[in-house]
Amino acid sequence: MTTWTVGQVADVFGVTVRTLHHYDEIGLLTPSERSRAGYRLYTDEDLTRLQQIVVYRRLEMPLEEIATLLDNGEDAVAHLRRQREAVMTRLDELTDIVVAIDRALEREMSNEPATPEDLKELFGDGFEDEYQQEAHERWGHTDAWKQSAARVKRYTKADWAEVKAEMEAVGAAFVAAKRSGEPATSEAAMDAAEQHRRHINDRFYDIDHDFHRGLADMYVADPRFTKTYDDQEPGLAAYVRDAIHANADRHAE
Amino acid sequence: MTTWTVGQVADVFGVTVRTLHHYDEIGLLTPSERSRAGYRLYTDEDLTRLQQIVVYRRLEMPLEEIATLLDNGEDAVAHLRRQREAVMTRLDELTDIVVAIDRALEREMSNEPATPEDLKELFGDGFEDEYQQEAHERWGHTDAWKQSAARVKRYTKADWAEVKAEMEAVGAAFVAAKRSGEPATSEAAMDAAEQHRRHINDRFYDIDHDFHRGLADMYVADPRFTKTYDDQEPGLAAYVRDAIHANADRHAE
DNA sequence: TTCACGCCTCACGTCGCGTGAGGGTCAAGT
DNA sequence: ACTTGACCCTCACGCGACGTGAGGCGTGAA
């Protein structure tokens, strides 16, 4: 018995019969013989080829590529190199994913607050740098600061992601209003301002419209604040300030 | 403007519009609103959900599983654990694959010799340390050394791996013979000795039975050699020496 | 002869979208 | 007011590597 049937081959190589049928269909591995009854009969040579195929398949190589590789084995080295590259990239991705899962697990299991590293990852560097300290010195004694600090330190990474999304949404709202030519006193701009106020109110500290005015004025006074806004859209900081004042006016009535 | 259209969402989250359509089709992420014209409008909440989806997708989690996970978020931990398991298994597979590729590559272009780092990796540290230098001073002038050096410097990493395997096989043969109570003059022990001689002959330098005797005596004379053998099995070094002599006697007849 | 099991050939289903086709919508410019 | 061009919509088929029956023939042992 020097040939094998599909079932035998499948068992030995850990593939399914259907897979062998498929390889036959697409011409990747056509058994050298058939019995009178039409049974596929695989020879030693066929098995050697299948062996190769199985190995390459484990590399997630598409069947078509395997075919070309096996049929003109000349540039096997090039193929292998590319495959190695691909697998290594995939490996890196997977390790990243494991790290991500671990973080998710930790947070899931113990509502652990986000670490400074997490924040850096979300907001980029410079988030918790000198400015944070300066802000602490300037505002640390206020109730708003204390309230904000108390809330913020319980925020998980997921919470921060939401915060970030909200911040970006607000920013986008201002940009959209301004770009569409609406004045700072327009509905759209005032709505964005109100969104901004609510964001701070919900996420950081109680803020009424008057306090919001103060914040707005500070935004244009401090060049670092101005920059974050104006980098998105020139003149945005002033626009935001005006919108906030308009919004406060609207709510004062 | 507190909602977004497909294109905007797609840009921000790095997915395609078609993907969003698909998620809508299968009910994984149905936008909360539609414009009069039928445009999909995504709210903040929708985006938060999409955020989650994107993360889970990177873990290669099937969309259906993501859906159940997001919809009854209670056993997210279990899901995460299973995913972790899956990813780790895949990781192991991939590292195996990289090893396989490397071997294939080396065999494919079997000309590049192994680097010292390769050797360290195979044989551990101390392989190319002081002893190597001492050996060079003691034996460097001999023909055997020169022949060995000439051969060895062309060995590829794959070659070295084979060499190591052969060395371990020989060692195992000696250990097996000794443990089963066979004397050093037994067939089994002598066969192991002959295996040892052939290994050196094939891999390093021409070695006849007389030279082999000398080597055997050196093994027990030099405590560093003795150690490598006796660490495997007490008294092995002496046993090996006796077996080698017995084997040489056998071939002298 | 019967039985269980293995083999065959269609042929449709799956998953996560890609890729048009054919047509409406919307803000901007002429 | 009209046209452009960039969006958006809904079908609906395609892909890659098989899974999963359905319906039927082959084969070796009881």
d(CA A177, CA A240): 10
| Distance between the alpha carbon (CA) of A172 and the C1' atom of D19, Å | 47
Treating both helix axes as pointing N-terminal to C-terminal, what angle do B76-108 and A44-58 enclose, rounded to 10 degrees?
130
Nucleotides of C under 7 A from a protein CB: 6-9, 15-19, 24-26, 28
Q: Is the CB of B15 under 7 A from strand D?
A: no
d(CA B150, CA A250): 91
- Least Cα distance to B2 among A201, A240, A170 occurs for A170
pLDDT at site B125: 47
Q: Is the CB of A8 under 7 A from strand D?
A: no
Distance of CA A36 to the CA centre of its chain: 57
Backbone phi, then psi, for B141, in 5-degree steps? -85, -15
Q: Is the CB of A40 under 7 A from strand C?
A: yes
Could you tell me if B237 and B220 are in contact, meaning their C-beta atoms sit under 8 angstroms apart?
yes
Angstrom distances, CA of residue B196 to CA of B142, B205, B250 = 20, 12, 15
A39-48, A142-151, A159-168, A178-187 — which is least confidently predicted? A142-151
| Distance between the alpha carbon (CA) of A130 and the C1' atom of C17, Å | 46
What is the number of alpha carbons within 13 Å of residue B73 lying toward its C-beta? 6
Q: Which two tokens stand for residue A128?
A: 């918790």
Average pLDDT, chain A: 75
Interchain contact A104–B (C-beta under 8 A): yes
B242 pLDDT exceeds 70? Answer: yes
Write out pLDDT tens, residues A217-246.
776 666 666 777 777 777 787 888 888 888
Could you tell me if A46 and A52 are in contact, meaning their C-beta atoms sit under 8 angstroms apart?
no
- Which chain B positions have a beta carbon within 8 Å of A83's beta carbon? 101
Interchain contact B90–A (C-beta under 8 A): yes
Could you tell me if B110 and B172 are in contact, meaning their C-beta atoms sit under 8 angstroms apart?
no
What is the DSSP-derived secondary structure letter of residue A72? T
d(CA B87, CA B81): 10
Interchain contact A88–B (C-beta under 8 A): yes
- Least Cα distance to A30 among A7, A50, A13 occurs for A50
Q: Is the CB of A7 under 7 A from strand C?
A: yes
What residue in A sits closest to B47 (Cα-Cα)? Answer: A165
Q: Is the CB of A22 under 7 A from strand D?
A: yes
pLDDT at site B60: 78
Average pLDDT, chain B: 77
Instruction: Over range A206-224, report the average pLDDT.
Output: 73
Write the ipTM: 0.50
Write out pLDDT tens, residues A55-89.
788 777 899 988 988 887 656 677 677 777 777 77
d(CA A112, CA A104): 10
Q: Which two tokens stand for residue A13?
A: 């190589």
Q: Which two tokens stand for residue A28?
A: 């990747």
Write out pLDDT tens, residues B141-151.
666 676 676 66
Minimal C-alpha gap between B72 and chain A (Å): 14
Helix residue ranges, H only, chain B: 6-13, 17-25, 44-58, 63-71, 76-108, 116-123, 130-139, 143-152, 157-179, 187-203, 209-221, 223-232, 236-252
